[in-house]
Structure 1
Amino acid sequence: MSALAPDFPMFWGATTVSLLGNGISSAALPLLAATLSSDPIVVSSVVVVGRLPWLLFALPAGVMADRWDRKRAMWISDLVRAGLTAALAAAVATGYAGIALLMVVGFLIAIADTVFDSAGTAVLPKVVGGDPERIQRANSWLVGSRNTVESFVGPPLGGLLFTMSRSLPFLGDALSFLVSAVLLRRMRGDYHVARNALGDGGLRKAIGEGFTWLWRQPVLRSITGIAGFFNVASLAQTAIFVLFAQQVFGLGALGFSLLIAAGSLGALFGAAQARRLNRWVGAAVSLRVALAVAGVACLVLAAAPNPWVAAAGEILGGFGAAIWNVNQMSLRQSGTPDHLLGRVTGVHRLVTYGAMPFGALLGGVLASLSGLRTSFVAAGVIMFALAVFATVAITRSRVAELTRPPADSPSV
């Protein structure tokens, strides 16, 4: 790992410990919501509200990532998230936590998430030196960590802590944000964007430059659109997954957490094999394979007769998601000029993360109208349709064209 760059171990460590906290909360938050309501629409609404800031703040956050010190933006976001999560833990411990409070805190934390994510995505190429191969290696490390700690270690730990005390998982999440902030502060590189690359103009012009550049890149434009629908399908499942585990399979808190963790096994393998798969078939084909595998995983979950088959579907889905994420992030980071990367990331997140509330709402509505399994069938249909579209929109020649020019060439 140290061969990637001197600052990368700190960056990776900060990301990993923060992801561990996210994994703990990813199990504890829906468990807490499910203790407050058994209505699928109410439970999924907690997820919906927590994703709304990506619709409202992704674009300004991208501009901030191109105009501020990206490292500072990240550690300040961590401190804000630590304070909010600690406040939620206190409310849970004292019995004042309700659905409305979960929504408010989730909304505020997500605002800080938009800043952290845009800055973190934009800073990575500078951390590792900008070489496309290094960027892909770094993303393999990061996606592997995400699926180890956020999906494998974090959820069972969150479920276990929740059974001990409902406030403990949120205290753990707050601590993870504090540790992440400390590690980020120890990074020594300069992560400002060169002032002469920024140009003049206000917020609207800056956002417009990001939109215009992304729209002119066929591969990145297609990836952004596909990723938006990918997240609609994913959240249609995620938003009601706790009820699926409880009502269909009769699982408790720990069983639900272990079922979430199963997906990380496939994701770890996918992150480790992404570069090898790309050498065999290329990034364009890898992206199509990832979408098709994700579609199969959705249908396996829809038809699962027991938790063991559902776990197999989760493993398969994790594999597809990891291949997709390593490739789409690497292509965006290596193909976008540094002075635009924050804004392009903001536009990408507006579409992709902004689609999540609609996916969560879709999952809740389908589950209420037609049963919990219907959400998984709908997600599978969406994934297969995306795989078909990708065969036309993401080709080898277009990928080669995207990555051929220098990353710092003039843009808009």
Structure 2
Amino acid sequence: MSLRGHRPLLLLVTEQLTSSVGRQVTALALPLLAIAHLSAGPLGASGLMVMTYLPGVLLSPLIGITVDRARLRRLLVTATWAQVPVVGSVPIAAALDGLTWPHLLTVAAVSGALNSAQSVALQSCLPRVVSSQQLLAANSSLTGARTAGLIGGPALGGLLIGIVDPAPALLVECAAYLIGGSLFLALPAALNRPVDQAGADAKSRIDALREGLAVIRRETLLRRQALAAAGLNLGGGAGSGLFILYASQELSLPSGQLGIVYAAYAVGMGAGVLLASSITRALGMARAIQVCALGAGAALFLIPAASLGLAFPVLVLYELLFGLLATVWSIAMTTGRQLITPAHLLGRVNAFLQAVLTATLPVGALVGGWLASHVGIVPVLIGAAAVALAGASSLWFPRDLLATVERTAQAP
């Protein structure tokens, strides 16, 4: 069934494109603002990043329960519009020369928590506005919108910051949130019917959390997804944290070539969005999940392999392959999770897995940086690739996992 002209999906895609551009502008403006106004060093910049991710991880159980019991349209609108005064307080404080570290860190934490809640709610919303047969194509569309924002957002941010101070550039994200909330408000009113109203009346939050964790323990696919995501993100986080230092210092890659390498990743992601449905149809959803995860983990070995020679083409090849395979894997796994999880528990399951994804990236980066200072960058990059490959390999065992995913994908 075609999604052309599907109004709710069009609203969601437009919101994802708008918010992705806004977040990328802020991702560039916020650390530059801390440097310009608060003389931030490496520790301050790292602290800002940690405060962006940490609340979503710590609050993930509460977020999951809230999403399952909430009126989803109202929650999406509230979480989005609440960002306007939070983020908007920064340029106001900067204009009044009253910006402080506690203020900036609080904004990063509150905005990060709201982003986490919106992300979980959006993943739980999608199966309620498209059919199960349309989920894969719908997830590809949303990922494509976010990818476009990843490409255009930094360029817009750099242009704005070159014209004005970083603080006024944050108003772009405020405008994006105003637009995004209006788009969510136009979603079907049926989304305001909670899917777990009975649970909200009968269960405590602890009981509701246990119910969600029971699904993850029971479903092999969900457990393996968490393990694979943890391994890929730990390894990928270590590699990402060292990548610029490795490419610029150990490989002596000029800045122009480094820019092309990063652009190759965006090209790979775009190809993944375009090819996700075709690859999944050709291999089947289960095999596509397994092959793409394994391929993404194996591609990380190309990073240390670049030290053997032909560094520039090898790194370009890595970015293309990893961007393509990781994108197809993410789309297929998200779709499989949405299909296999009962609707009234989807918020809790999404929140738990998002916490795994969010927590393991900075942990991988921090551990990788510490180890590299003791044993060198290349050995750590090899170890990081091995960790990622081991995590991805878990999707191949037990053997009946393949049949489980295929049954789920073919369910009406």
Residue 396 in 1 paired to residue 402 in 2? yes
**Aligned counterparts, 1:336-351, within 5 A:** 336-351=341-356
Partners of 1:240 and 1:34 in 2: how far apart? 22
Partners of 1:93 and 1:256 in 2: how far apart? 35
CA 29–363 in structure 1, closer or farther in 2 if over 3 Å, else same: farther
Provide the residue aligned with 2:149 in structure 1. 149
Say which is worse superposed, 361-370 or 343-352, in terms of deviation.
Answer: 361-370
Deviation at 1:299, TM superposition (A): 3.2
Contact 2:265/2:320 (<8 A) preserved: yes
Query: Equivalent of 1:66, from 54, 65, 68?
Result: 68
Contact 2:227/2:391 (<8 A) preserved: no
Query: Equivalent of 1:50, from 44, 49, 52?
Result: 52
Query: Equivalent of 1:381, from 386, 397, 412?
Result: 386
Deviation at 1:53, TM superposition (A): 1.5
TM-score, normalised via structure 1 length: 0.85
Q: Which amino acid aligns with 2:26?
A: S
Partners of 2:301 and 2:35 in 1: how far apart? 25
Contact 1:231/1:352 (<8 A) preserved: yes
Provide the residue aligned with 1:161 in structure 2. 160
Provide the residue aligned with 2:177 in structure 1. 177
Q: Which amino acid aligns with 1:338?
A: A
Partners of 2:270 and 2:54 in 1: how far apart? 29
CA offset digits 1:207-236 (Å, max 9, x no partner): 111110121011112112211232223333
CA offset digits 1:142-199 (Å, max 9, x no partner): 111221212x111233233334432354222222122111111122331122466536
Partners of 2:97 and 2:240 in 1: how far apart? 26
Deviation at 1:135, TM superposition (A): 0.6
Partners of 1:250 and 1:20 in 2: how far apart? 28
Counterpart of 1:24 in 2: which secondary structure?
A: helix
Provide the residue aligned with 2:267 in structure 1. 265
Contact 2:88/2:171 (<8 A) preserved: yes
Which of 1 and 2 has greater Rg? 2
Deviation at 1:283, TM superposition (A): 2.0
Q: Which amino acid aligns with 1:12?
A: V
Contact 1:21/1:173 (<8 A) preserved: yes
Partners of 1:63 and 1:103 in 2: how far apart? 26
Contact 2:34/2:45 (<8 A) preserved: yes
Provide the residue aligned with 1:313 in structure 2. 318
Partners of 2:407 and 2:334 in 1: how far apart? 17
CA 295–99 in structure 1, closer or farther in 2 if over 3 Å, else same: farther
Partners of 1:69 and 1:92 in 2: how far apart? 36
Deviation at 1:367, TM superposition (A): 4.7
Say which is worse superposed, 169-178 or 155-164, in terms of deviation.
Answer: 155-164
Partners of 1:32 and 1:318 in 2: how far apart? 30
Provide the residue aligned with 1:410 in structure 2. none
Deviation at 1:42, TM superposition (A): 5.4
Say which is worse superposed, 81-90 or 63-72, in terms of deviation.
Answer: 81-90
Unmatched tracts of structure 1, length 5 or more: 407-412
Deviation at 1:64, TM superposition (A): 0.8
Percent sequence identity is 25
CA 4–55 in structure 1, closer or farther in 2 if over 3 Å, else same: same
CA 188–388 in structure 1, closer or farther in 2 if over 3 Å, else same: closer
TM-score, normalised via structure 2 length: 0.85
Q: Which amino acid aligns with 1:289?
A: V
Contact 1:27/1:257 (<8 A) preserved: no
Contact 1:65/1:343 (<8 A) preserved: yes
The root-mean-square deviation of aligned C-alpha atoms, in Å, is 3.2
Provide the residue aligned with 2:18 in structure 1. 17
Contact 1:5/1:127 (<8 A) preserved: no
User: Number of paired residues?
Assistant: 401
CA 71–393 in structure 1, closer or farther in 2 if over 3 Å, else same: farther
**Aligned counterparts, 1:177-256, within 5 A:** 177-191=177-191, 192-194=193-195, 197-198=198-199, 200-239=202-241
Unmatched tracts of structure 2, length 5 or more: none
Say which is worse superposed, 52-61 or 157-166, in terms of deviation.
Answer: 157-166
Provide the residue aligned with 2:331 in structure 1. 326
Contact 1:44/1:364 (<8 A) preserved: no
Say which is worse superposed, 60-69 or 259-268, in terms of deviation.
Answer: 259-268
Contact 1:14/1:180 (<8 A) preserved: yes
